[in-house]
Amino acid sequence: MTGQILALGGGGFSMEPDNPLLDDYLLSLARNTERPRVCFVPTASGDAEGYSQRFRDAFGPDRAEASVLNLFQREVVDLEEFVRGQDVIYVGGGSTANLLAVWRVHGLDRALKAAYDDGVVLAGISAGMNCWFEASVTDSFDVNSLAPLEDGLGLLPGSACPHYDGEELRRGTYLDLVGKGFPGGYAAEDSVGLHFRDGELVAAVTSTPGKAAYAVRAGDGGVVEEPLAVRYLGDQ
């Protein structure tokens, strides 16, 4: 099976409710494209019901077979069976550190790795981008500052930085960290999705013209910020 991940720096139903381009692209990756089974995982927001309802509204029965996996009031007994039965797992934003801790307590981290190996498409925005990488930049520990986090799930190598243009401190903090030895990786602006297949970046797409994404690494003269080719989904 081919493992696929769509990592969103921002955008999608929660940030662009009137612009379905990124979410449509995600659904196009599902093994069942006629009426894909899409599960929203709102752990990073503390299973916020309002967030989950926005997901249900965006992925109505004419578009997908939608479900929500809550862990704070858990109802699903066999997590691995449940997530492996989905076509897409969509992880919401919030606290990356809390998300990882709760997933590991319940064993959802292992279940998601099994689903990924089975061909379930994994996706997410912000914390839902960070979680798939080995490392990331997060505001989990202080909403007024950013900090490195180095114990992600590691399905994707290196590090992630979402909201690269949407939050003032993101770019400068990420470049500074990479320059000091933090793992290099990928930075995505809001409205940009990075599509990985078997750990390799195969496409960068956007729902808004002019948005950018970068491969970031330490170089001989400092930090290299290499622009990626980003395709506007509205052109197809």
Contact 55, 13 (CB under 8 A): yes
Neighbour count for residue 141 (Cβ, 10 Å)? 12
Tell me the three state secondary structure of residue 90: strand
* Calpha distance 45→134 (Å, rounded): 21
Q: Euclidean distance between the first and final Cα of the chain, in Å?
A: 27
CA angle 117, 122, 128 (to 5 degrees): 135
CA atoms within 13 A on the CB side of 5: 28
Tell me the three state secondary structure of residue 215: strand
**Catalytic site residues?**
126, 163
Which among 151, 197, 228, 235 has a CA at the least distance from the CA of 7? 197
Which among 14, 193, 148 has a CA at the least distance from the CA of 93? 14
* Calpha distance 83→231 (Å, rounded): 30
CA angle 197, 200, 202 (to 5 degrees): 70
